[in-house]
Amino acid sequence: MKYHLDHLEELESESIFVIREVAAQFENPVILFSGGKDSILMVYLAVKAFYPARVPFPLLHIDTGHNFPEALEYRDWLVDHFKLRLEIGSVQKAIDEGRIKEEKGFNASRNGLQTFVLLDELEKGKYDAALGGGRRDEEKARAKERFFSHRDEFGQWDPKNQRPELWNLFNGRKHFGEHFRVFPISNWTELDVWRYLAKENFSLPNLYYAHKRRVFERDGVLLADCEYITRRPEEEVKEEMIRCRTIGDMTCTGVWRSEAATIDEIIEEVATSRLTERGGRADDKRSETSMEDRKKQGYF
C-alpha cells in the first residue's frame, strides 16, 4: 500500500475540497457553465464532491446565441445525466430588450456583452459565489488569481487588493452585495484536464475530437463557417479535419487543424503542441493585456 497520491489525484482532492468549502461558506452559489472542458470538469468534480446527494448549486450558462449546436446538445445531456438545475442568461434577449448594443463589423463578437449579462444574472439570482473553470496556467493575468476571488459590489476585480490565501484556509466572508468568484481548478493545466478526463473515461462534446467541418481563415485563426459570421469576399470556405481546443462563442473560437480523433491522440497532441489553447482565441488577440482588462470588468 502506497501512501501518496499521484498528481491528478491530488488535484482532484484539492478541487473537491474547494467546492465543498463553497457549499459550506456561501448561501447561494452558482456554477458558471461555459460549455468547455474546464467547466465540464468542474461540474464533474462537483458531482463527486456531494455524491450521492445532488450538486447543491445550479449551473448558469450565459448564452450568446452564437453557440455551436453540439455544445448546447451536450449541455442538455450533462444536466439531464447528473440531474442538475440549469439557468440560462440570454445575450440575445438583452439585445432585443435594448439593454445592450450589438457590436458591428466583420469581427463583431458578443464576448463583451456576455460580461454585462453575466453580472445582471448574478444580481438577479442573488448569487453570492460563482464557480468558474479558470486555470492559472491559461494566461498571465490568471497566474495570480486566488481560489476565492473577492469581487466588489460592481463585480470588479482589484488585482492589488486580493486576500492572501494560506494553507487550505479560505476566507469567504463578505459584506452585503459583494460576491466571490471561485476557481476550484486553478492548479490544473490543459494537459492535466485531458489526462484526468481520459482516466475517468468521461464523455465529452464531439467538438473536441477531430472531425470534418467547413472552415475559413481570418487573421491567422481558423473559424467555423456559420450564419453568425459575415465573411469577407476573399475569405474562402474549405472543408477540413479540425477539432476545438476550447469551446466558446462560434464567432471567436478558433478551431485547429487536427487528426486527433481519440482521447489518447488528443493528449499526445496537447503534450507536444507548440501553441497555447488561447492562441486560437480571437478575443485575446485584441491587445497584449486584453484578458486582464476583461477580468477587471467582471469577465469570468
- Identify residues 187-246 at the interface with other proteins (CB under 8 A): 187, 189, 191-192, 198-199, 201-206, 208-209
Phi, psi of 289 (to 5 degrees): -110, 25
Asked if residue 37 binds other proteins (CB under 8 A), the reply is no
Asked if residue 76 binds other proteins (CB under 8 A), the reply is no
CA dihedral 141, 66, 280, 256 (to 10 degrees): 150
Asked if residue 167 binds other proteins (CB under 8 A), the reply is yes
Residue 233: asked if its preceding bond is cis (omega within 30°), the reply is no
Whole-number Å distance between alpha carbons of 87 and 73 = 15
Neighbouring CB atoms inside 10 A of 3's CB total 4
In whole angstroms, the minimum distance from the beta carbon of 77 to other proteins comes to 6
Asked if residue 85 binds other proteins (CB under 8 A), the reply is no
Asked if residue 176 binds other proteins (CB under 8 A), the reply is no
Asked if residue 35 binds other proteins (CB under 8 A), the reply is no
Chain centre to alpha carbon of residue 119 = 16
Count of residues in contact with other proteins, rule CB under 8 A: 75
In whole angstroms, the minimum distance from the beta carbon of 106 to other proteins comes to 23
* Binder of other proteins out of 99, 124, 173, 238 (CB under 8 A): 173
Asked if residue 143 binds other proteins (CB under 8 A), the reply is yes
Q: Which stretch binds other proteins (CB under 8 A): 28-36, 106-114, 165-173, 227-235?
A: 165-173
Asked if residue 169 binds other proteins (CB under 8 A), the reply is yes
Give the nearer residue to other proteins in terms of CB position, either 17 or 228: 17
* Position 123, amino acid: E
Cell of 282: 480571437
Q: Which stretch binds other proteins (CB under 8 A): 99-107, 116-124, 182-190, 235-243?
A: 182-190
Q: Please report how many Cα atoms fall inside a 13 Å half-sphere around the Cα of residue 292, on the Cβ side.
A: 11
Q: Contact, 58 vs 85, CB < 8 A? A: yes
Query: Among candidates 134, 137, 124, 141, which has minimal Cα distance to 60?
Result: 124
* Binder of other proteins out of 26, 57, 74, 216 (CB under 8 A): 74
